[in-house]
Structure 1
Amino acid sequence: MRLNTLKPAAGARKAGVRVGRGIGSGLGKTAGRGHKGSYARTGKGKIKAGFEGGQMPLQRRLPKVGFRSRKSHEVSEVLLYKLGVLDVEVIDFEALRAAGLVEKRAERAKIVKKGELTRAIKLRGVATTAGARAAIEAAGGSVE
């Protein structure tokens, strides 16, 4: 056996169909593409993904989902355990902003219970969740 004598097995390689070669070939004139339509055109066989032949496509029939509130930036959340770091007697919105715990564009703050509070604090004019309020009062602090 030599490399120059190697051949594929009989019937393994099939010759391609020659289209558009006259009536006698059986695939003349329209070359098996039928009459008119996008698939009969040159280079136009592909259609856009999601195109449904003019019917309203699925992605436009389904409702829009989701919502991003523009008010979400007005309220900034502050974690409870970060309040223990502040060296201020009364913690209010200005104290939180000065400490950098509140975003610059926030108009209000809300204390959220996460972690433990180690010392008693006095909170004034800041919203809290029910769990955060209970934790502050349990540590000997107060919420006004």
Structure 2
Amino acid sequence: MKLNEIKDREGATSARKRVGRGIGSGLGKTGGRGVKGQKSRSGVAINGFEGGQMPIYRRLPKRGFVNIFAKEFAEVSLAKLQTAVDAGKLDAKTTVTAEVLKEAGVIRRVKDGVRVLSDGELKAKLSLEVAGASKAAIEKIEKAGGSIKLLNAAESAE
């Protein structure tokens, strides 16, 4: 085999669909767009347009409020922490921080910090440094012999 003989397997690649190139191509004349009208032309953007009638997204009232300053936390349950310790991903002797949890694959991204929730049981004696935790989670961690340091004391036990 030579370099000039290398090619893809049969059927591995298919030619792109060349629309509007004559009647013999089977995709000619209107090019799959149907006949006439605004949608058959180029440069059409009519999503949400209802022919001059007031569109539904403007007929319905606005509701609610979005707090643009709200913090978004990565949530971790005690059960997930225990599973990570059992699997050997987390070392119970070291201090568990957001970066440690990310490296261990317990959370995907840190966001505005980590908040520990009380789902499940914790048997390991962990030392945690997190942005927040629920009251029940703090109790369970201390009951297991661990300690927890809250970085953002204002947003913690709610």
Q: 1:34-79 CA deviation, whole Å, 9 max, x = no partner?
A: xxxxxxxxxxxxxxxxx9xx7x688644422466777778421111
- CA distance in 1: counterparts of 2:139 and 2:109, whole angstroms: 28
Equivalent runs, 1:72-111 vs 2, <5 Å: 74-84=72-82, 85=85, 86-89=90-93, 90-104=95-109, 106-111=111-116
Largest Rg, 1 or 2: 1
Aligned residues: 94
**CA distance 1:66–1:102, shift in 2 (3 Å):** farther
What is the DSSP-based 3-state SS (H/G/I as helix, E as strand, rest coil) of the residue aligned with 2:79?
helix
Structure 2 residue 141 is matched with structure 1 residue 143: no
Shift of 1:109: 0.8
Contact 2:141 2:147 in 1 (8 A): yes
| AA partner of residue 116 (structure 1) | E
**CA distance 1:71–1:102, shift in 2 (3 Å):** farther
Q: 1:87-106 CA deviation, whole Å, 9 max, x = no partner?
A: 24211111111111222362
**CA distance 1:95–1:101, shift in 2 (3 Å):** same
RMSD: 3.4
**CA distance 1:58–1:106, shift in 2 (3 Å):** closer
Aligned sequence identity (%): 36
Structure 2 residue 111 is matched with structure 1 residue 112: no
Contact 1:76 1:110 in 2 (8 A): yes
| AA partner of residue 91 (structure 1) | V
- CA distance in 1: counterparts of 2:147 and 2:110, whole angstroms: 27
Gaps of 5+ in 1: 1-50
Shift of 1:134: 0.9
- CA distance in 1: counterparts of 2:146 and 2:75, whole angstroms: 19
Question: Which TM-score applies when normalising by structure 1?
Answer: 0.50
Question: Which TM-score applies when normalising by structure 2?
Answer: 0.46
- 1:63 corresponds in structure 2 to 61
